[in-house]
């Protein structure tokens, strides 16, 4: 989907607030993910977690920070 541009086209149709929580050790580079979001979504909020891979809710070093961000964002 990414190679064919379908993901970007889908992103252009998103009308709600977007929050991305990304690990600094994720195999998908955080800066590239953030730049892609900013191209198609108005004002995405982006958090980068230190010492974290692709699944912050499972990772011992990142799960507390992940849930703190999630709680903050959901409580508005």
pTM over 0.85: no
Residue ranges in the chain modelled with pLDDT below 70: none
d(CA 7, CA 11): 6
d(CA 11, CA 16): 11
Closest CA to 23 of 12, 31, 35: 31
Q: What is the pLDDT of residue 2?
A: 73
> 65 near 56, Cβ under 8 Å?
yes
Domain ranges of the chain: 6-75
> 54 near 61, Cβ under 8 Å?
no
């Amino acid at each position: 989907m990414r190679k064919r541009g379908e993901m970007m086209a889908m992103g252009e149709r998103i009308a709600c607030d977007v929050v991305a929580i990304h690990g600094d050790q994720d195999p998908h580079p955080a800066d590239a993910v953030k730049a892609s979001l900013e191209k198609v979504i108005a004002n995405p909020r982006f958090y980068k977690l230190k010492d974290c891979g692709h699944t912050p809710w499972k990772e011992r070093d990142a799960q507390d920070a992940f849930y703190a961000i999630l709680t903050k964002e959901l409580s508005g």
